[in-house]
Structure 1
Amino acid sequence: MSINLIHTILLLYTVVLTWRAAGAVYASASPPSYSSATPMTEWRSARATYYAASDPRDDAGGACGYGDLAKNGYGMATVGLSTALFDRGQICGACFELRCVEDLRWCIPGTSIIVTVTNFCAPNYGLPSDGGGHCNPPNKHFVLPIEAFEKIAVWKAASMPVQYRRMKCIKEGGIRFRIDGSGFFCSVLISNVAGAGDVVAVKIKGSRTGWLPMGRNWGQNWHVTADLKNQPLSFEVTTSDRVTVVSYNVAPKDWSFGQTFVGKQFE
């Protein structure tokens, strides 16, 4: 065997090993699995403002579609996010811990608040990002009800530097499924989700169907086109940490549009 042929074989062998190693690294780059006992991220920097109690922006539950936030268990511990954080509504239902930093005049020392994402803070391109356009890209901005803002800072502060981190959501009771629609169109609002909080995939099953994947309509409203009437309904819900909970026969056979049912909950 010639020396050139040996060199060629060794070179090909090295390339194959390198390719296989790279493939192994790529294959292992799966979405992270978060421990429920620890925060999901480290502290990061952002800013926060508030809106007054008379502001009507939450009448429809905001951009996530949760409806009456008090009635549905969210209360005033809610937040709207700027474009840089909102992720086109996929973050709806996630929980964040906020604390005021840097401004010793207005911050309430040693305090923090945990809020659930229920709304979107739209950009205002008529104003500069460092002026009135608080929610313009690439700003990371949180907008809180004044009742929540006053847990961490004096209201006179207006726009405040804060730190935030993703947290596990703690909710009372099970996941809520509000069923709406008409005929063969079925829309389900999924709320009160513990754990990671933000739902990324949903399946629905009737007693006469297999598991049917639902599409995201907007916020945490999911839809499917199928005849599901006159049969009990089950749901499979997956959150962003890739944890899945299945609730069997949540809705009875005689369910009707406009009703809400409660299923299992994430631990």
Structure 2
Amino acid sequence: MKAIAARLVQSGEPAARHFETTVDLTRHMLHREAIDLVVVDADTHLDAIARLSAWKTSQGRKDFAILVVAQLLRPEFMARALELGGDDIVAGAFDIDEFVARAARCLARLNATATQTFRIELAGYALDRRTQRVTLDGLTLLLTAQEFELAWLFFSSPGVLISRPRLAAEIWQASAADIGYALGKQIHKLRGKLRLEKGGAVALRAVYSSGYRLEVSGDDRSDRPSAELTFTSFLPTGTYR
């Protein structure tokens, strides 16, 4: 924790955030903006790898990677950490440079998956980025180019809270203050066009004072790609954004 905090100060990144339990972490990820990387200390929280991996699968989340740090000097221990759901490992005596390199590689793989995605299928919806076409059970739903980009942002990150500032920046290249009530009106219009009202298989929910989240009910969850992510800060034995 000290080594990572020192590197963050040196690089000018935001401070690290620590989570004691997987419950605290998953609650945060349901009600706050997405986290790109979860760092687990397997020497003290080995079970957290499997728990996070299971939660990730059950929620259909592909928006974060799991980086394991631990002694794990024996090959079978390393293999076990990967089998439990770890995406990469920093084993042996902790080295901050190796940690930064492996963290960056985890994020690069997430970004590569996101940028190579051209089609999303979810609970009867199909979005094709090349044609900017959206269908629901085969029926075409007409959207403007801006509405399609907004829909793509949500459907590529189901279950992830997307903040008002991020929406304003990515869709309108402006600040949330500049957009004002227009953002809420645009979300309302998108809900209507895509039939994303509360009670359906897929709903676009407002999270008070934070942003919006696309929610998928029960068995309608499917294997779906994640959105493009950004690396902004480390969060050991918890997460970094």
Do these two structures clear the TM 0.5 threshold for a shared fold by scoring above it?
Answer: no
The answer to which structure has the higher strand fraction is: 1
Q: Highest relative contact order (Cα 8 Å, sep 6+), 1 or 2?
A: 2
User: How would you bin the TM-score normalised by the shorter chain?
Assistant: under 0.3
Larger Rg: 1
The answer to which structure has the higher helix fraction is: 2
